[in-house]
Amino acid sequence: MKCQKCGAELNDAAKFCGVCGTPVMNVQPNQTAANLPQPNSGYLQQPQPDQPKKKKKTKAIVISVIAVILIAAIVTGLILFFNRDTVSAAELEEAKKQFVPPAEAFEIDTSLDDPSNEQIKFTFDGESRIASCAYEVNGKAYEVNYGYDDLSEILTLETTFKKHVIKTEKIEYSRITEPDVFRPVDGYYVRLPEKYIHSSGDSAEPEAQKETQRFGIGRVIPSDHTEATSAPETQAATTGGQHEPQAIPEIPEDLESFVNRYGLYCAKDYDCRHAVENDQNILSYIVNLHSCVEMMSGNNLYPGEGVTTSFSPDEAVKSCPWDSHGTGAWTFDRQEVEWICTNIFHLPESAIDTFYQKAYDEQKMWRDDDYYYILGLGKGDPMALTGINRFQTDGVYYHVDYTVYEMNAQDMTQKGKEIASHYMVLEKKSIDGKEYWTMLYHSDDVPYVFEPFDING
């Protein structure tokens, strides 16, 4: 064996060259001199770590990519969740066209307490009545929600598509004749407990129900309404000395005008017997109403109504005791306004000054010897219609149950969506040789059965 550096002959067991001192490396059978490590090749240096920094960098990149993917998935999921019920106008219109009522779309086993199956799913309320019905037809998922008005005995069905109402139907309880069974009515499955089913021979039926039949939306009218041939306007039925309201077959035209004029804009509550102590400022109401009356048809109900009413942007404002900010003012004949308050709404003359002072302190109106004034256009809104549901009299007082509707956008003479129902008690008075409807009482609380009105109550 020779030294790789100086070529001196070496003993096979030598570890260093005896001539130059170079360490001796044993050559393996598969090694040659060409591929042996050279002295300056760094072979004797300590081995270096396997690039840990590069590994850490690669790991960080992988983690970042996974995090981005997870965040994107979460954001996409949230977007889909919050927009799951979003529907375009075209899609909604298509859902309306393709809608088929559940009873026309699927048959069910009516002998079961819960006939839900793979095609249609029912839920129920605490009285085992149907609460909702979900199904899919024509590739679209619909849900029908059931609403029960037990007082009016009306079932309202709202069909929704992606939580948007596309159809509303009403079914009277009286059309459901069999208790505790599923039956199709107008294309919808219905079921009512026995206590809501009234048959003609049911002796347990409430007296009020025996004497009445359903009329309109949630209204009751005496059963002799359609059979009466003459109006008992002057003949009062008495029970125990009290006047009882009786039906009148036809609604007088001037009454409809009164309801449209004063019922439409009336404050929610008015009682001429307690107007002052209850702070029901009918004076302020009448003055504010007149600006609407002026903008309406001009069909005046009372002497001079609307004739002396005018909007003045200059003259009247000059007398305003407050800063008018350049707006105009409505002027109303003082004698006319006070005539309506005392004659039509039975307000004591002494209460007029009380109500005026209160409205003046609130900067709602002012007056002089000839006129009442308000700034701007008043508070009324004539864009509505009324419909009388019930009309009864005891020969002295007249009871009216009516509903206020939005005007139909396509036809202003047609009723639109129902806004609210009200109840009023009227009296027919003769003043200066002419008869007028006058209001005694007005309320949002519509009674199921009209009770005798006590003017001293």
pLDDT in tens, 190-203: 999 988 886 544 43
Half-sphere exposure of 359 (CA within 13 A, CB side): 23
Which of 287, 299, 262, 284 lies closest to 386, judged by CA?
Answer: 262
Angle at 449 between CA 444 and CA 455, to 5 degrees: 70
Element (H, E) at 123: strand 120-124
Query: Could you state, in order of their start, the residue ranges of all structural domains in the chain?
Result: 1-33, 96-196, 243-443
Q: What is the pLDDT of residues 362-384, one digit of tens each?
A: 888 899 898 888 876 544 445 67
Sheet holding 130-137, edge to edge: 120-124, 130-137, 140-149, 154-161, 164-172
The residue to which tokens 């009380």 are assigned? 354
In the predicted structure, residue 262 carries a pLDDT above the cut 80: no
What average pLDDT does the chain have? 75
**Which runs of E-coded beta strand occur in 193-259?**
212-214, 220-222, 237-239, 242-244, 246-247
- What radius of gyration do the chain's Cα atoms show? 44
Q: Greater confidence, 142 or 392?
A: 142
Look at phi and psi of residue 131 and say left if phi exceeds 0, alpha if psi is from -120 to 50, else beta. alpha
Rounded mean pLDDT, 13-21: 78
- Range 86-102 average pLDDT: 87
Residues 6+ apart with CB under 8 A from 409: 416
Write the pLDDT tens digit of every residue in 383-436: 677 888 888 888 889 999 988 887 766 666 677 788 888 899 999 888 888 888
